[in-house]
Structure 1
Amino acid sequence: MSGNLDQGLLIGAAVLLVAVAAVRLSTRLGLPSLLLYLLIGMLLGESGFGIRFDDAELTRTLGFCALIMIIAEGGLTARWTTLRPVLGLSAVLATLGVAVSIAVVGVAVHLVLGLGWRLSLLYGAVLSSTDAAAVFATLRRLRLPPRLVATLEAESGMNDAPVVLLVVLLSTAGPMPHPWWYELILVLYELVAGVAVGWLVATVGRWLLRNAALPSSGLYPIAAVGLMILAYAAGAVTHASGFLAVYVAGVVLGNARLPHRRSILGFADGLAWVAQIGLFVLLGLLVSPSRLGGALVPALVVGVALVLLARPLSVVVSAVLARPVRGPRRPESRIGWRGSAFLSWAGLRGAVPIVLATIPLSLGTPGADRLFDAVFVLVIIFTLVQAGTLAPAARLLGVTAPGEATELHVETAPLEKMNADLLQVDVPPGSRLAGVFIDELRLPVGAAITLVVREGAGFVPGPDTRLRSGDALLIVATADARDAAERRLRAVSRRGRLARWFGEKGEEPRA
């Protein structure tokens, strides 16, 4: 028993370290890292080192656990100011857009491949969901308008709820247990209840994190991750969308002023990477490489239908229906035909379709083996073609974004016995804090800058100290003055020393 455990730990540690090194290699080669993770899994499998793994049920369970962490990290790092204007379009893409995509792919598979209607629609359902891991990992490396990135991220965070339900229904043998209108109401309930559960858990958790004064800074990231898992579990127990609850909870917490916020985001980012590595390696283990050759033709048929017909049509229909009927449209909410074309091409597929394909595989649905192989091949093709062409496509369509000043981040740590907080502020490039004198900040009574770290050296500033880009500030503020001090710093960072005259109050976007 001890020997097996030691061998398992040795293999697991080696795979993790190789996967981490593969990120560097993939960056140099210009290939998505998920392909290397899949390759590692396939090399460990039956055609490589001979590890035989065919437990689809376990893969589905672990895959769902990994997706919780990936979606949670995406929600925590989403900005409410860029997310709010595109919520309508993202919601339509995640619901009606999914239905359009399933219908188009289902018809194409039925007519070209001659499969039954249920299995054809199952192909469409499995592939209709964009992948959160692929979207978060790929798009944030590109210089794109925030509204486009936010649209795709929100869509990937919301479209799992209806898709999982439809895949389960289509994978179940026998006639549908309920009429179509009942299933539609059930999908709507899952979405609405998922939002409510996620918001409730995060709102209570936000208050607790800000007022608990935990004895160790390392407990805050653990508590935040626990809240994400609680949101999913609470959603699942109430038969709501657990994935949507996780995303909503992440957005609410990510846009709140939490103690040790950077530590929370760093911890979540690390867990998301571990989840991605484990998920793709596991999926690579599950596949049988000897069967992939026969899945190439079905994969190409489905891929052509998805890329050239289903995805563009779903984007066009969603963009038309999400357009406000009355009143002027705000500029930040406009996508335009160029943005719609990019959305059509950037509907990335990754781990989610493969995980969804394990549902009919674990239920023994007829044709599930061929479906899984076709989806696996298609994801590899999509990743090679789409991910590598997103940057040229963005430049060709003219949807690249210029560089922008970094938003000011304030890290807080509670000082319980003093009834005060310790604030750490880094002056980012482009911030208008640079050039401002300390006395021009006009921080509220109870807040004072106690230390400035500049080029690795720290000193106690005076009223005539002038801030520079790259400075790190250490501020002590009483509990009553903390919020006002943060707002003033953000206001000056955005509009300069005359922020009040411009009407800038420094409010941080909240979910």
Structure 2
Amino acid sequence: MDSLDTVSLSILLGAVLVLAGILSSLVALRFGAPLLLVFLLVGMAAGESGPGGLRFDDVRLAYTVGSVALALILFDGGLRTRFSTFRSVLAPSLTLASIGVFLTAALTAPVVVQVLGLTWLEALLVGAVVASTDAAAVFFLLHGRGLRLRPRVAATIEIESGTNDPLAIFLTVLLVELLVMGDRPWTAVLASLVGQGLGGAAFGLLGGRVTVLALNRLALPQGLHAPFVTTAALTVFGLAQSVHASGFLAVYLAGLIVGNRPTRAHNTVIAFLDAATWLAQIAMFVLLGLLAWPERLMSHGLQALAIAATLMFVARPVAVFLCLAPFRFSWRERAFISWVGLRGAVGIFLASIPLLVGLPRAELYFNIGFVVVLVSLLVQGWTLAPAAKLLRIALPRAEPAPRRVELDLPGQLEQELVGYHVGTGNPYLRRKIVPSWAKPVLVVRESRVLSAAEAGAIRPGDHIYLLAPPEKAQALDRFFVEMPPPPAPDPRLLGDFFVGADVQLGALAEIYGLEIAAEDRDVTLADHIAEALGHPPHPGDVVPLGAIALVVSAEAGGRVTRVGLRLAAPDPVPRGRRPRLVRWIARARALARSVLEP
């Protein structure tokens, strides 16, 4: 019976820890703290040296849970990445994810040698452990603070953080093997690197295609599509790892393939993976926190702080500026991308690998990696949003995103039903315009379900449902944003809503169904307006763009900084204020009808 009680208590403690992690997210949202930091602190508080007093030293279990969590996180990241985004920043992102990781580890190593007295190979291992960034923490903070990044910067950070983890993991495992097995010829090391990369890419591309084919061909019961995709992702990861290919690269590419192909239950899969990755991250972070001992962490606290400072202020910035030098990034964008090098779960996960294999000084690697991650989360995590504003890389999100309902339609993959509540300040209600690829089909009004034809004109308080391609459904949000009326309405100066001047023409083309030449899709609105006007822009200048018009809202230094979008022609002038000629024509037509009609 004692063993049964032990199992029951273990289940209870595990559930309480996960519940504490979930509830702590409310604290993180309130104060802007990185969730990873909160979960780690929950684990440390529950550990043997904390108030909880729970003894935990199972490194193998922590590594297993961490592997599953990282596989799901990478698959989810690939699932949400659009090929158009991927292609637009492929070169700079992959440069940061490959050369940038090597440079960061190499530039950190000399300081490690000096402050810890390790060999160069051991110092490189410490550098590799802390070389990758944590996308989940970065975007949680930005979205939690109501900020949105410039599109090109956001895409670069997203792709880099999704692709640099596999390389950091490979580099760490390779250095651990060299320390355990002794020196190996560099030709063998290079062959191993290429083999793992090619093998991971092959497994990812093939696994993604097979998952899409099976998902669309198999008649799975309702509700099993999402678990099937999640299990398929872990299968791809496990198969690649079992043959010594890069499972982390494979699972990311598989997610990229699945997310960019028409599939059944796409939104159900996204929602399920949201919950799965959330719980996996909580479990991984809490277990890693349980492994940490505050007393041991502080035994090399000063050395770890020196390494963290080198990483944040020297290694990462130098690597970013060198890697992005061939590309068209401003110094502000490069400075922000440097500061976004937020360390997180991968760093602590990699620091546990020396513990798992029993490497000499394994606890030192773990303690240094843990402290560096904590410092990065505390310093960079809490200053990320102010840095974005200071460098003018992010603009305040002026309006909350509307609540969107998405429903899959069985029997086809090209369309889904997207629903919104219509508020009095929606651009849709104001201008009665939606993209050409969205078709209104249903209206719910006062608990009655009406067809679009039966409903007639849309009214405030209605719920409208439109048919739209799944990959474009999110773009409808901006038409149903609740926008307050401007303090001084002026149709000459104000558009329906505002966007940053660094938005590309291709992004607007996808939303509004505009015809934009392929060579102009990467041109920003600021550059397009400057070329179209031929003179320094002034607020109120209008540049037509297909079915919409671009209105200069703000400029600085002779360059547009904010653009208003005019979705349609201004509302008709009230009857009493129509021009005199228009009133005469209307009267003449009325007189002619009265004479001609019997």
Bucket of the pairwise TM-score, normalised by the shorter protein: 0.7 to 0.9
CA offsets, 1:123-161, max 9 Å, x none? 111111212443453344431123222222222222222
CA offsets, 1:371-425, max 9 Å, x none? 2112112211110111110111011111114659989989453545xx8998311
The aligned runs of 1:351-366 (5 Å cut-off) are 351-366=345-360
Residues 120 and 503 of structure 1, relative CA distance in 2, 3 Å threshold: closer
Q: CA deviation at 1:162?
A: 2.6
Residues 94 and 484 of structure 1, relative CA distance in 2, 3 Å threshold: closer
Bigger shift: 139-148 or 429-438? 429-438
Aligned residue number for residue 4 of structure 2:
2
The aligned runs of 1:32-111 (5 Å cut-off) are 32-48=34-50, 49-111=52-114
Q: Which has the larger radius of gyration?
A: 2
Letter in 1 for 2:103: V
CA offsets, 1:281-322, max 9 Å, x none? 10111111221221211111111211121101111221135x
Residues 196 and 410 of structure 1, relative CA distance in 2, 3 Å threshold: farther
Mapped to 2, the partners of 1:276 and 1:33 lie a distance apart of 10
Letter in 2 for 1:39: L
Residues 174 and 271 of structure 1, relative CA distance in 2, 3 Å threshold: closer
Aligned residue-pair number: 477
Mapped to 1, the partners of 2:35 and 2:340 lie a distance apart of 17
Give the secondary structure class of the aligned counterpart of 1:143: strand
Mapped to 2, the partners of 1:352 and 1:255 lie a distance apart of 26
Aligned residue number for residue 175 of structure 2:
170
Aligned residue number for residue 473 of structure 1:
465
On the 8 A contact 1:162/1:187 being kept in 2, the answer is no
Aligned residue number for residue 245 of structure 1:
250
Aligned residue number for residue 426 of structure 1:
419
Letter in 2 for 1:373: N
Aligned residue number for residue 379 of structure 1:
373
Mapped to 2, the partners of 1:206 and 1:404 lie a distance apart of 38
Identity of aligned residues (%): 37
On the 8 A contact 2:443/2:451 being kept in 1, the answer is yes
Give the secondary structure class of the aligned counterpart of 1:426: strand
On the 8 A contact 1:140/1:149 being kept in 2, the answer is no
Mapped to 2, the partners of 1:221 and 1:392 lie a distance apart of 38
Aligned residue number for residue 207 of structure 2:
201
Letter in 2 for 1:201: G
Matched, 1:370 2:364: yes
Mapped to 2, the partners of 1:79 and 1:353 lie a distance apart of 27
Letter in 2 for 1:73: D
Matched, 1:220 2:228: no
Q: CA deviation at 1:225?
A: 0.9
On the 8 A contact 1:157/1:244 being kept in 2, the answer is no
Give the secondary structure class of the aligned counterpart of 1:452: strand
Mapped to 2, the partners of 1:289 and 1:104 lie a distance apart of 28
Aligned residue number for residue 13 of structure 1:
15
Mapped to 2, the partners of 1:502 and 1:484 lie a distance apart of 21
Give the secondary structure class of the aligned counterpart of 1:159: helix
Aligned residue number for residue 126 of structure 1:
129
On the 8 A contact 1:342/1:397 being kept in 2, the answer is yes
After the TM superposition, list the runs of 4 or more consecutive aligned residues in structure 1 that deviate by more than 6 angstroms. Answer: 404-410, 419-422, 428-434, 440-443, 482-487, 492-496, 498-501
Of structures 1 and 2, the one with the larger relative CO (CA 8 A, separation 6+) is 1
On the 8 A contact 1:106/1:121 being kept in 2, the answer is yes
Give the secondary structure class of the aligned counterpart of 1:349: coil
Aligned residue number for residue 413 of structure 1:
408
Give the secondary structure class of the aligned counterpart of 1:22: helix
Q: Please give the root-mean-square deviation of Cα atoms over the aligned residues, in Å.
A: 3.6
Q: CA deviation at 1:190?
A: 2.5
Mapped to 2, the partners of 1:144 and 1:110 lie a distance apart of 37
Q: CA deviation at 1:83?
A: 2.6
Return 5+ residue gaps in structure 2 as ranges: 480-506, 518-598
Q: CA deviation at 1:464?
A: 7.4
Residues 272 and 431 of structure 1, relative CA distance in 2, 3 Å threshold: farther
Mapped to 2, the partners of 1:282 and 1:320 lie a distance apart of 40
Matched, 1:230 2:224: no
Letter in 1 for 2:6: N
Return 5+ residue gaps in structure 1 as ranges: 324-333, 476-481, 505-511
Residues 224 and 359 of structure 1, relative CA distance in 2, 3 Å threshold: same
Letter in 2 for 1:13: A
Matched, 1:309 2:314: yes
Mapped to 1, the partners of 2:290 and 2:273 lie a distance apart of 26
Mapped to 2, the partners of 1:114 and 1:266 lie a distance apart of 48
Letter in 2 for 1:358: S
Select which of 156, 163, 173 maps to 1:158. Answer: 163
On the 8 A contact 1:452/1:460 being kept in 2, the answer is yes
Mapped to 1, the partners of 2:88 and 2:413 lie a distance apart of 36
Mapped to 2, the partners of 1:130 and 1:486 lie a distance apart of 29
Select which of 123, 137, 140 maps to 1:137. Answer: 140
Letter in 1 for 2:131: S
Residues 389 and 233 of structure 1, relative CA distance in 2, 3 Å threshold: same
On the 8 A contact 1:415/1:422 being kept in 2, the answer is no
On the 8 A contact 1:295/1:377 being kept in 2, the answer is no
The aligned runs of 1:211-360 (5 Å cut-off) are 211-216=217-222, 218-320=223-325, 323=327, 334-360=328-354
On the 8 A contact 1:437/1:466 being kept in 2, the answer is no
Give the secondary structure class of the aligned counterpart of 1:365: coil
On the 8 A contact 2:402/2:420 being kept in 1, the answer is no
Aligned residue number for residue 460 of structure 1:
451
Residues 361 and 166 of structure 1, relative CA distance in 2, 3 Å threshold: same
TM-score calculated relative to the size of structure 1: 0.82
On the 8 A contact 1:427/1:471 being kept in 2, the answer is yes
CA offsets, 1:193-218, max 9 Å, x none? 323322222223223323434331x1
Q: CA deviation at 1:57?
A: 2.5
Mapped to 2, the partners of 1:408 and 1:39 lie a distance apart of 33
On the 8 A contact 2:443/2:455 being kept in 1, the answer is no
CA offsets, 1:58-79, max 9 Å, x none? 2222211111122222222223
CA offsets, 1:18-51, max 9 Å, x none? 2111000122122222222112211221113222
Letter in 1 for 2:322: V
Give the secondary structure class of the aligned counterpart of 2:173: helix
Mapped to 1, the partners of 2:83 and 2:290 lie a distance apart of 38
Letter in 2 for 1:151: T
On the 8 A contact 2:75/2:233 being kept in 1, the answer is yes
Aligned residue number for residue 591 of structure 2:
none
Give the secondary structure class of the aligned counterpart of 2:449: strand
Letter in 2 for 1:203: R
Letter in 2 for 1:220: H
Mapped to 1, the partners of 2:305 and 2:433 lie a distance apart of 62
Select which of 167, 191, 197 maps to 2:197. Answer: 191
Mapped to 2, the partners of 1:291 and 1:420 lie a distance apart of 55
Mapped to 2, the partners of 1:159 and 1:437 lie a distance apart of 42
